Amino acid sequence: MRIAIISDIHANLPALEAVLADIDLVGVDRIYCLGDVIGYGPEPRECLEVSTRFDVNLLGNHEEAVLYDPIGFNPRAKAAVEWTKQQLMSTSLPREETAALWKHLASMKQTHEEGDIFLAHGTPRDPTREYLFVQDCSDDPEKVEELFDSFGPPTAFVGHTHVAGIFTPGPRFQSPEEIGGKINLGRENMIVNVGSVGQPRDGDPRSSYVIVDQDELEFRRVVYPVEETQRRFKRTPLPENLALRLIEGR
């Protein structure tokens, strides 16, 4: 079975459409999403609507913030959460449509386990909040080793930092470029960050996601019209820097 695993769409519809076109091209059986469909970007309703078609939808910290409270968000992210919430509660759209979106949000699970894979938004032990950063390998290796003990199957997939790559015991991080874009998933523990569809932060503005085919893992990058997303930001009161950062992938 071929599975596309995507994450952190962040209400960037042109990016999501480009990734779904690429997924169509390569052909998969299922699409799993690790959360943060909304937040930061200009089209939360539209992206949520598309996500109802995915086979698995996990809860991200931005969905959690909209459903409950924006704990630990900086002022800009908080402003985006408030605006997103308004869009999702808009009375100018059919009530049934709005109710369906909130029902969809409320149905999102924190984790998903299936065969040899475990999925979470942040980390396996703290699915919506904790970050696993590249620098943790040198600054806090114990934390990374603890994380390898926090899930059952050999491979865990996460998002949240918007930086794609693989973490292996040691601990060690390797970017997709360092492994030639592909790697075999063995019995050894691995935590894979799939990167972000709608707001990459590794200096490459292209959307990031992965394809898993049995024990083969492939990282993919997809060009999308960043300027189009930036134009759509202009129709909203969202902070300008959220649009500007997309061009640099930071």
Positions in the binding site for Fe ion (CB under 5 A): 8, 36
Min separation Cβ 215 and Fe ion, Å? 28
Between 77 and 190, name the residue whose CB sits nearer to Fe ion: 77
Spatial separation of the C-alpha atoms in residues 165 and 175, rounded to whole Å: 4
Min separation Cβ 99 and Fe ion, Å? 26
Between 77 and 117, name the residue whose CB sits nearer to Fe ion: 77
Min separation Cβ 197 and Fe ion, Å? 10
Between 8 and 64, name the residue whose CB sits nearer to Fe ion: 8
Q: Which residue is nearest to Fe ion (CB)?
A: 36
Between 8 and 43, name the residue whose CB sits nearer to Fe ion: 8
Min separation Cβ 249 and Fe ion, Å? 14
